Amino acid sequence: MPSWLLYTLGVVIFAFGLLLSIALHEVGHMVPAKKFGVKVTQYMVGFGPTMWSRKRGDTEYGLKAVPLGGYIRMIGMVPPRADGRRSRWPRRMATAVEDFRQVSRAEVQPGDEERQFYRLTPGKKMIVMVGGPTMNLLIYLVLTIIVLTTLGVAKERPPTLTITSIEKCVVAANRTDVDPNECPVGSEAPAYRKLQPGDTVLAVDGTPVTSWDGLVSRVETSAGAPLRMTIRRDGITRTVTVTPVRNLKRVVDGKGGTKLATTGYLGVSPVIPRYYDTLSLTEIPGEIGRQLHLGVSALARYPEKIGNLFGTVFQGEKRDPEGAVGVVGIGRISGDLAESKAITTKDKVASLLGLLASVNLLLFFFNLLPLLPLDGGHVAGAIVEAVKRGRARLRARSQPPLVGPDGGAVRPARPQIFVDTAQMLPVMYGVASVLVVLTLLTLYADIVSPIRLLGG
């Protein structure tokens, strides 16, 4: 199959998986909302102009032109303004809040008053809003379990003495602003033009080499000293002389980590054989727990990665291969995986499924951030509402009982307290603006300085 077709297939597989994930996310909101009696007027996958739609019952189902998200529209998302309560925002923003409230009220038809979202109990509101992220979590779990039980976890055997790639330039490990493929003639890496991918190292200065670690140790201690390397290329044994140069690189520190040190450097990487080890059902929870921890850590480092992204976009710095990446970038990575000749078909399937699983895991965590208009913001509002209602009930119980006309005790009505999320409209605008800016930044970086895998 042609490389371009494999690349396209990888992009299409990711795009379809993402679209399906978005659709199921919205199903996670819609099903409990309808179950609790809320009127759902729209179920849309994508944004922008509507490409296709069909109405069934109260709900219009459709696809929009830009498949970068989705939404369901529930009537009565915000409560009516409490009588006599003034907005805390300046006049212009207060007017926008009231306009937003009126738009929400206009969706309520006669007879639908009890089908408004804001009238749900706090617990039901939380179930509706958590439903979407829960679907992403389920997708992640299903894909991960499939990979772990059928394909297995990719593991690496010790590196061989066969060279898989050669760096063109000498770049210090702490330099992220230098393109490793652009350097003046004469300043190339020592192995460049001397060795080739596929060469197998047999001996150095006549001494047989038995491991890659042994070769690395010899190179690191030989900066400036010519080395006569015996290699096998295309079945023919030959001798090549290369001279390691001094370079700042990352080395093992003896404590299970790495450190920066100035040592001899050639600029070659070995072939590392991979194999897959399937897990039993009892081993899967531990592996999933490890991945969940990595997901939380990745989200915690997101602000730092955004800072690096600003350096790439505005200062021309080298793109961090582990930095923030958008939908376009992940699509390109999917294409690179499918097109690559350096990995097996099994590697490609496992990597693409793992990539989709990772995207859904990050969507789960991201959507639960307690910021409007994200799902987590609505969950936070429901929690505040539950706390306020609980405090009101406690105060009511501490009051003397009311006496009815017949002289009996009258139970006070349960307090109807609603958190007015309409007042958070300025915050929603702010968060939405930040999300739009971040989306545009990652889009630009993914186009002009994409993250490429496997030498793609």
The answer to whether the beta carbons of residues 155 and 277 sit under 8 Å apart is: yes
Tokens of 7: 């690349």
Nearest residue to 274 (alpha-carbon basis) of 192, 181, 412, 155? 155
Tokens of 365: 């965590």
Backbone angles phi, psi at 282, to 5 degrees: -75, -20
Q: Which residues pair with 133 in a beta bridge?
A: none
Backbone angles phi, psi at 3, to 5 degrees: -60, -40
Out of 26, 167, 220, 385, which one is annotated catalytic? 26
Question: Rounded to whole angstroms, what are the CA distances from 431 to 12, 22, 28, 130, 428?
Answer: 30, 20, 23, 19, 5
Give the C-alpha separation, 448 to 456, whole Å.
15
Tokens of 203: 């001996």
* 182 has catalytic annotation: no
Q: Within its chain, how far is the Cα of 70 from the centroid?
A: 17
Q: Which residues contact 395 (CB under 8 A, 6 or more apart)?
A: none
Q: Which residues contact 193 (CB under 8 A, 6 or more apart)?
A: none
As annotated, the active-site residues are 26
